[in-house]
Structure 1
């Protein structure tokens, strides 16, 4: 059983990084590493209570026998655990991130579990290409909001995925002021509060993630939800879960 005093102390350290310490660096990679290096050891425990629907997103994708899975913005590699025993079906899983500190945690996880087919790679999510050339599955777990050119990341994911392959995304967002009638509409207060609140930590919520994904992929599953944020007891942050498929008859790389 977790020690509550130790948990609160770890949370306070993480919250200090989130609320007080600002990421510094000339490049996106430098800012990410500067932001996460001091909280990498506490990363999973805190965000497990903040980043909702990750496990469901991962487990909503059928694991392809002998397939290649690319997790873009993989952090500490916890998503690989959510796959469960079926991870052995994959020929290779790549954990892509720009933070060396988080990838060090991922490597420790890999070593502890003896995964021979999981590889952490420090690389930009908008340009990484696996040795196999393409992937059967590409996932983004609360990483699109931290990628400045998120639309390029989605376009690149589309180019990587084989026809008929799957994409899985879960992330924070806000709706458009006038969304499609099939999508949820957030009130002004939701749209006005959460964007600047997250932006202070270089997490940029967008009203265009869902429309862009719907335009690029065939929809398998879409849920728009809200989830608790630690130490903010009476409000819920909006997030979405999307599973899509690249059309079987897709031609070309874009």
Structure 2
């Protein structure tokens, strides 16, 4: 990851804003309540975390990434925005993430976000399974990533997926299957949305249990 992002991190946000559709909708629909905790898995430059912190100022924010190079850029960006005291960052792998060890947050999080990170995580299913275990009672998992482009021309799909492969990014059709499995199990309330001819898909999975009052 450090090799991939050593150079890309310097212009990542400038280029990604044109084709990572749905990130701002995820942020808008997160609906985090005051006092809740939000963690982004694969936070990259912390672009999403900064926007979340501004939209929901009374929440606690955390982000992990597998690239120390990317976290260096994220930390510098948060300092420029004056958000370094509101957003905590840590180096960790998604499938083995221990919030107690990384952030001293053993009880997990109210919201966990995957924003175009699963398409770069080889053990993506293990990352999702781990995230579910880290949700607090009543917590919500939010995902946005590339869809199957079924509503787009074939030439566009081929060009996009070929280009993404150069950056070790690939569409994960299994994400939708994993979500459907969770829905069938009945322990999570699931909603699914598609954008721009299934260019991108958004998934929201909320634990049906609620914290004790």
Q: TM-score range by the shorter chain?
A: 0.7 to 0.9
Q: Which residue of 1 aligns with 2:93?
A: 124
Alpha-carbon separation, structure 2, partners of 1:87 and 1:37: 31
Q: Which residue of 2 aligns with 1:150?
A: 124
Cα offset for 1:221?
Answer: 3.3
Choose 1 or 2 for highest CA Rg. 1
Any stretches of 5+ residues in structure 2 without a counterpart?
none
Alpha-carbon separation, structure 2, partners of 1:114 and 1:191: 40
Per-residue CA distance 1:92-138 (angstroms, 9 max, x = gap): 31111111222112112221232222111111011212222211000
Alignment root-mean-square deviation, CA: 2.6
2:169 is paired with a residue whose SS is coil
Aligned pair 1:36/2:2, yes or no? no
Q: Which residue of 2 aligns with 1:160?
A: 134
Q: Which residue of 1 aligns with 2:171?
A: 205
Answer with 217-226 or 96-105: which moved more.
217-226
Alpha-carbon separation, structure 1, partners of 2:174 and 2:153: 16
Cα offset for 1:162?
Answer: 1.2
Alpha-carbon separation, structure 2, partners of 1:190 and 1:212: 26
Task: Identify if the C-alpha distance between structure 1 residues 170 and 224 changes in structure 2 by more than 3 Å, giving closer, same or farther.
Answer: same
1:51 is paired with a residue whose SS is coil
Q: In 1, are the aligned partners of 2:40 and 2:113 still within 8 Å (CA)?
A: yes
Answer with 114-123 or 161-170: which moved more.
114-123
Aligned pair 1:112/2:80, yes or no? yes
Per-residue CA distance 1:18-65 (angstroms, 9 max, x = gap): xxxxxxxxxxxxxx1111111211111110111111011122111132
Cα offset for 1:161?
Answer: 0.5
- TM-score (norm: length of structure 1): 0.70
Cα offset for 1:189?
Answer: 6.4
Q: Which residue of 1 aligns with 2:207?
A: 246
Aligned residue pairs, count? 201
Aligned pair 1:215/2:181, yes or no? yes
Alpha-carbon separation, structure 2, partners of 1:143 and 1:223: 18
